[in-house]
Structure 1
């Protein structure tokens, strides 16, 4: 070893050690001894003085003193002046004791090293996810037992922030782990008194609010200085081994609702059509009634007018009525009546009815 080579015979200093001093407890068989600490410090100081300007004299030390003071003051100011960011507050400690007031965002000053500062982020919203994503390998996720002895695989998130920085810093340790443990315990407490079907379906919103209250109460009992802003139940499913069977039940329920909706739509359509037809028939009946009444009223008024004229000239009215009646009756007769004075030149066997019929067909 270099140690032993330097201390061997014939070397510089004879039997001295590697730093030039004789080993303690001399004499044969004394063995190797550690170097003298005071001698080592003295030699280090001598080397430092040689490195200083002026060969380590008093004038060199005095020339370097202002630089040392400037560096010391700059380092002290660097440690004493601190800046609080907009999302932080400054919590100062004097000799390890917390000051009651916190400092807002901005530049502040402390007497370091007698005072120190902590700057927790009070506006930052933290999130803890509890569920299958953080389950260890080979586990069944975040399985919880419901009140009806069924299992539920739950994943949920807890959002929280700091509302009392002093309590947050000095009342508890490992704050995120505490929030995680308390949140999982609170969720298990809620699931343990709730049926599994309610947890998976209609009870998600109510469950999130209930778990949020439980978490906040527990954290307040610890003086954790943490405010829970929200709890979101992202997943509430049956265990993976029986999930397909539950999914089949859910699909059957969805099919039932879809069929019921289709039947309701068909029923509403048929009912609407029937109501429309009934309204149409009713309106047609009312129109027919009004038309018949109007026609009857018109006929009665016309009869009254005719009667008034008949009452004024009964002979004329009788003759006119006779002529109109005979015209209507004879127009339907197939007989041909020929005046005696005009019939001298008519062929006796001329088929006048057939001629008249052909004439009428030609006109039509």
Structure 2
């Protein structure tokens, strides 16, 4: 464990965020600058986990004066092709396992990783641990709409979720929307094939009834075409549907950008018009850029875990660390536990252990 700045981690009230410095397509050369930029922008303690030599080489290129940064060595790396269970069991000195263990042991409050997504989620469940009452943690994606950012959940952690899982996803996302996005009373919608009550498969219809009976601000079913209008703050679905929605929207935004660029450079007059529209085009690009939101929070864990895209750039890493720190600072996990408690009689967990609802 090698300190990289004068200010020690011990005794500070600021959030302590462990960053898997070896994760992602570019490793420390992108992860370290992005994380340091986050530390420079707000009061947080940074713990960079991985190959000490490579991390410190990147730190030497940066101005870290006045920042609380610590480097923790990890001799292994979870490769993209590694099975998540094998990483947890056999690569116990990999950067993502070591970072997660820091959270479990209370040496850090959250983890950010752009590495093996499955391994990061497995470490979240089996190393950090779930909030009491959570059956299955879920992945949430913060996405732009015509009005304000919204949360789509689950986006891949639970492809075979049941109705009561969808119900819990909604409660967990409600806490995230309140603490990270600042929505006082988030509007929750259930993704279905029609807005009317009774539409959808058995899973959706059962989840509808549970959500309607909850303390959440449930606005009913939401069709796919309405997601980006901004009429809801949270849209809930299972991980199979959510992952398809997420990748479809990412692909559409990318294709739309290329098509727009092609049309705007097709002739002289189009190029002239583009010159006058460059400011608006840049604002639009920023709006649909995944890096603006950093990564996908994994909800339902006792610590903050942010799963980043493998191709994350410095900006994405900075925003992911920012999000983790904001989640810790606003005590998102505690609010998730509170939401579960408020709706205890509707959860599968409470039916197994009814005494917890007393």
Identify the TM-score tier after normalising by the shorter chain: under 0.3
Larger radius of gyration: 1
Structure that is richer in helix per residue:
1
**Higher RCO, 1 vs 2 (CA within 8 Å, ≥6 residues apart):** 2
